[in-house]
Structure 1
Amino acid sequence: MFLNELYTPLERRFTSGCAGINMGATGSIYNEATALMEAFARPLWGLVPHASGGGESALWPMFLEGIINGTDPEHEEYWGQFTTKDQRMVEQAVLGLGLALAPHKMWEPLSDTQKMNVYNWLNQINHVDRSNPNNWLMFTVLVNVGFKKVGLPYDQSIMDDYLEQIDNYYLGDGWYSDGLTDQRDYYIAFAMHYYTLIYAKLMADDDPQRAAVYRERSARFAEDFIYWFAEDGSALPFGRSLTYRFAQVSFWSALVYADMVPFSYGVLKGIIMRHFRWWFEQPIMGLDGLLSIGYAYPNLVMTENYNAPGSPYWAFKAMLILALPDDHPFWQAEEEPLPILKEVRALQEARMLVSRPEGNRQVIAYTSGQMANFDMAHSAAKYSKFAYSTLFGFSVPKAGYGLVQGAYDSTLALCECDEHYRVRRFCETWEIGDSYVYSRWHPWSDVHVETWIIPAGLWHVRVHSIHTARRLDVAEGGFAIGQSAGFSHSEREIIKVSNTAVSVQLPLGISAIHRLSGFDRGECVYPEPNTNLLKPRTLLPSLCSRLEPGDQVLISAVFGATNTPENQASLASPPLIQWHSDGRVAVYEPSNDTLLHTVDLREGRNKDVE
Structure 2
Amino acid sequence: MTYDPATANPLFGNPLHSRADVEKGLRDLFNPLLPYFSQGGARVRLDGAGAHFDRAAADLEGFARPLWGLTPLAAGGGDFEHWELYRQGLANGTDPDHPEYWGQVNSTDQRMVELAAIGFTMRMVPHLVWEPLPQTAKDNLAAYLKHARQFDYADNNWKFFRILVDLGLEECGVDFDRALTEKYLEELDGFYLGDGWYRDGNVRRIDHYIPFAMHFYGLIYAKLARGDEKRVAAYQERATLFAKDIQHWFDEDGGTLAFGRSLTYRFACGGFWGALAFADLEALPWGKIKGHFLRHLRWWAEKPIAHGNGVLSIGYGYPNLFMSESYNSAGSPYWALKAFLPLALPADHPFWTAREEAAGFDAKPVPLKHPGMIMQHSPGNVVALSSGQQNWQMRHGTEKYAKFAYSSRYGFSVEVDERSYHQGAFDGALALSDDGRHYRVRETNETVQVAENCLFARWKPWSDVTVETWLVPAHHWHIRVHRITTPRALHGTEGGFAIARADLNADTYVDAPGRGEARSASDVSAILDLGGQREGRAFRALPNTNLVASKTIVPQLRGEIPAGTTVLTTAAMALPAGEEADGALANPPHAPDLAALEALFAREGIDVSAILVPERF
Q: Tell me the TM-score normalized by structure 2.
A: 0.92
Cα pair 1:404 1:526 within 8 Å, conserved: no
Provide the residue aligned with 2:4 in structure 1.
none
Deviations 1:362-400 (A, max 9, x none): 21101114112x511000000000000112110000111
Provide the residue aligned with 1:435 in structure 2.
453
Matched residue type, 1:394 = F
Provide the residue aligned with 2:580 in structure 1.
566
Q: Does 1:115 align with 2:129?
A: no
Cα pair 1:83 1:127 within 8 Å, conserved: no
Provide the residue aligned with 1:301 in structure 2.
322
Give the drift of 1:2.
2.7
Provide the residue aligned with 1:588 in structure 2.
none
Provide the residue aligned with 1:589 in structure 2.
none
Q: Does 1:138 align with 2:157?
A: no
Aligned pairs for 1:482-561 (under 5 A) are 482-484=500-502, 490-491=506-507, 494-517=508-531, 519-561=533-575
Matched residue type, 1:30 = F
**C-alpha distance in 2, partners of 1:350/1:56?**
41
Which of structure 1's runs of 4+ aligned residues deviate more than 6 A?
Answer: none
Matched residue type, 1:180 = N
Deviations 1:525-548 (A, max 9, x none): 211100000100011111111122
Aligned pairs for 1:151-550 (under 5 A) are 151-203=173-225, 205-340=226-361, 343-358=364-379, 361-372=380-391, 374-403=392-421, 405-484=423-502, 490-491=506-507, 494-517=508-531, 519-550=533-564
**C-alpha distance in 2, partners of 1:405/1:240?**
24
Deviations 1:423-467 (A, max 9, x none): 001100011222211100000000000000111011111100010
Counterpart selection for 1:58 from 81, 86, 93: 81
Cα pair 2:388 2:404 within 8 Å, conserved: no
Q: Secondary structure at the match of 1:466?
A: strand
Provide the residue aligned with 2:598 in structure 1.
600
Cα pair 2:291 2:357 within 8 Å, conserved: yes
Cα pair 1:392 1:481 within 8 Å, conserved: yes
**C-alpha distance in 2, partners of 1:407/1:541?**
9
Matched residue type, 1:470 = R
Q: Secondary structure at the match of 1:448?
A: strand
Query: Measured at CA, do residues 157 and 313 of structure 1 come closer, stay the same or move farther in structure 2, by a change above 3 Å?
Result: same
Percent of counterpart pairs with the same letter?
A: 43
Q: Secondary structure at the match of 2:341?
A: helix
Give the drift of 1:470.
2.0
Give the drift of 1:146.
0.9
Matched residue type, 2:559 = S
Deviations 1:219-240 (A, max 9, x none): 0000000001111111111000
Query: Measured at CA, do residues 273 and 544 of structure 1 come closer, stay the same or move farther in structure 2, by a change above 3 Å?
Result: same
Give the drift of 1:331.
1.7
Give the drift of 1:518.
5.7
Cα pair 1:599 1:609 within 8 Å, conserved: no
Cα pair 1:404 1:528 within 8 Å, conserved: no
Q: Does 1:92 align with 2:115?
A: yes
Give the drift of 1:419.
2.1
Query: Measured at CA, do residues 193 and 283 of structure 1 come closer, stay the same or move farther in structure 2, by a change above 3 Å?
Result: same
Cα pair 1:526 1:538 within 8 Å, conserved: yes
**C-alpha distance in 1, partners of 2:394/2:442?**
15
**C-alpha distance in 1, partners of 2:563/2:421?**
22
Provide the residue aligned with 1:103 in structure 2.
126
Matched residue type, 1:447 = V
Provide the residue aligned with 2:66 in structure 1.
43
**C-alpha distance in 1, partners of 2:233/2:583?**
51
**C-alpha distance in 2, partners of 1:518/1:404?**
21
Cα pair 2:153 2:159 within 8 Å, conserved: no
Give the drift of 1:607.
4.1
Q: Tell me the TM-score normalized by structure 1.
A: 0.93
Matched residue type, 1:201 = K
Q: Does 1:32 align with 2:28?
A: no
Q: Secondary structure at the match of 1:600?
A: helix
Q: Secondary structure at the match of 1:427?
A: coil
Matched residue type, 1:175 = W
Higher relative contact order (CA 8 A, sep 6+): 2
| Long gaps (5+) in structure 1 | 586-597
Q: Does 1:69 align with 2:92?
A: yes
